Structure 1
Amino acid sequence: MKQRSLSWSLTRALLPWVALVWVAISLGVAWYVQHELAEQLDAGLVESAERLLDLAAHDARNHEKPSERDGTLFRLEVPHSKLHGAKHDVLLYQVVNTDNELLLRSADAPRYPLPVPLSTGFREYAGLRIYTLAHPSLPMYIHAGDPLAHRQATRTRTLLGLLVPLLVVLPLLGWLIRTVTRRVLAPAGQIARELQQRDGRHLAPLAPAQPLPAELQTIVGSANHLLQRLEGALDTERALAANAAHELRTPLATVRLRLQTALAQVSDGPARQRVAEALDSLDQLGRRSEKLLQLSRAESGAALAQERVNLGKLAAVVAQEFWSDPALLQRLHLVLPESEDVWVRGDFDALAIALRNLVENAVRYAPSGPVTIAVEAPATCSVSDEGPGLSPERAHALLQRHQRNGHAPPACSAPAHVPGYGLGLSIVSTIVQRQGGALALQSPPPGQPHGLRAALLLRAAEQPTAPGI
Structure 2
Amino acid sequence: MKPSSSLQKRLGLGLTLGMTLLWLGATVGAWLVVQHELNEAFDSALEETAQRILPLAVLEISNREEPREAQHVATLKMHKEYLTYLVRDASGKILMQSHDANPKIFNQQPTEGFTTSEKYRLYGASALRETLFIEIAEPLDHRREAAREALFALLLPLLALIPVSLLGTWLFVRISLRSVLAYRRAVEARGVGDLSPIKVARLPAEIDPLAEAVNHLLERLRKALEAERSFTANSAHELRTPLAATLAQVQRLRHEAPEGPLRVRAAKIENALRELARLSEKLMQLAKAEGGGLLSETPQDLIPLLAHGVDEWNQRSDQRIELHLPSQASVYSNIDPDAFGILLRNLIENALKYGATDQPIEVSLTEQAQLRVVNSGPAVPQSVLQHLTERFVRGHSEISGSGLGLAITKTIVQGVNARMKLVSPATGRQDGFEVCVWLPLA
SS at 1:63 equivalent:
coil
1:459 and 1:315 map into 2 onto residues whose CA distance is 20
* 2:419 is the alignment partner of 1:440: yes
Pair 1:139-2:131 in alignment: yes
SS of structure 2 residue aligned to 1:214? coil
> Residue in 2 aligned with 1:419?
403
- SS state of the match for residue 4, structure 2? coil
Matches within 5 A, 1:426-465: 426-427=411-412, 439-444=418-423, 453-457=435-439
Counterpart in 2 of 1:299? 293
Q: CA deviation at 1:381?
A: 3.2
The answer as to whether partners of 1:67 and 1:74 remain within 8 angstroms in 2 is no
SS in 1 for 2:185: helix
For residues 82-141 of structure 1, the C-alpha deviation after alignment (integer angstroms, 9 at most, x for no partner) is xxxxxx971111111111011222233214472255332000124100001112467221
2:219 equivalent to 1:219: no
1:136-176 Cα distance to aligned partner (Å, 9 max, x none): 46722111011111111211222222223323312221222
Check 1:95–1:233 CA distance in 2 against 1; reply closer, same or farther (3 A cut). same
Give distance in 2, aligned partners of 1:322 and 1:50.
Answer: 123
Structure 2 CA distance, aligned partners of 1:206 and 1:246?
35
Question: Does 128-137 or 35-44 show the bigger shift?
Answer: 128-137
Give me the whole-angstrom Cα distance separating, in 2, the residues matched to 1:207 and 1:268. 71
Count of matched residue pairs: 427
TM-score w.r.t. the length of structure 1 is 0.75
Q: Counterparts of 2:101 and 2:196 in 1: how far apart (Å)?
A: 90
Equivalent in the alignment of 2:365: 375
Inter-partner Cα distance in structure 2 for 1:257 and 1:380: 41
Superposition pairs of residues 56-71 of structure 1, within 5 angstroms: 56-65=57-66
- Structure 1 contact 342–375 (Cα < 8 Å) conserved: no
Rounded Cα–Cα distance in structure 1 between residues aligned with 2:420 and 2:24: 59
Letter in 2 for 1:120: E
Written as runs of structure 1 = structure 2, the 5 A alignment for 1:76-87 is 76-77=73-74
1:127 matched to 2:119? The reply is yes
Q: Which runs of 5+ in 1 are unaligned?
A: 81-87, 461-469
Alpha-carbon distance in 1 for matches of 2:403, 2:291:
23
Query: What are the Cα deviations for residues 406-456 of structure 1, in whole angstroms up to 9, with x where unaligned?
Result: 277xxx9999x97116433434666xx5xxxx6332354766799653235
1:278 pairs with 2:268 = no
SS in 2 for 1:299: coil
TM-aligned CA deviation for residue 251 of structure 1:
1.1
Q: Does 1:169 align with 2:161?
A: yes
Q: Is the 8 A contact 1:389 1:451 kept in 2?
A: no
List per-residue Cα deviations over 1:176-203 (Å, max 9, x = no partner): 2222122222222222222223454211
8 Å CA contact 1:200–1:234 kept in 2: the answer is: no
Distance 1:157 1:6, change over 3 A: same
2:183 pairs with 164, 188, 191, which one?
191
Indicate how the Cα distance of structure 1 residues 147 and 298 shifts in structure 2: closer, same or farther if over 3 A, else same: closer
Tell me if structure 2 keeps the 8 A contact 1:57–1:138: no
CA–CA distance in structure 2, aligned partners of residues 154 and 305 of structure 1: 76
Counterpart code for 2:22 = V
Structure 1 position 43, deviation (Å): 0.5
1:320-379 Cα offsets, whole Å, 9 max, x none, are: 256338xxx4xx654456xx4653347877755442233234556778998532233465
C-alpha contact 2:427 2:434 (8 A) present in aligned 1 = no
Q: Kindly provide the CA deviation profile for residues 290-312 of structure 1, in whole angstroms up to 9, marking residues without a partner as x.
A: 52686599828799885684578
Q: Secondary structure at the match of 1:406?
A: coil
C-alpha contact (below 8 Å) 1:241/1:296 kept by paired residues = no
1:258 to partner: Cα distance? 2.0
1:241 counterpart = 2:221? no
Alignment match, 1:94: 86
Task: Indicate the percent of aligned positions where both proteins have the same amino acid.
Answer: 27
Deviations 1:382-409 (A, max 9, x none): 2246546799x999xx6xxxx638277x
Moved more, 219-228 or 29-38: 219-228
SS of residue paired to 2:207: helix
Partner amino acid, structure 1, of 2:17 = P
SS at match of 2:404: coil
1:204–1:227: 8 Å Cα contact kept in structure 2? yes
Q: Work out the CA distance in 2 between the residues paired with 1:185 and 1:298.
A: 32
Q: Does 1:44 align with 2:45?
A: yes
Query: For 1:91 and 1:407, how far apart are their aligned partners in 2?
Result: 103
TM-score (norm 2): 0.79
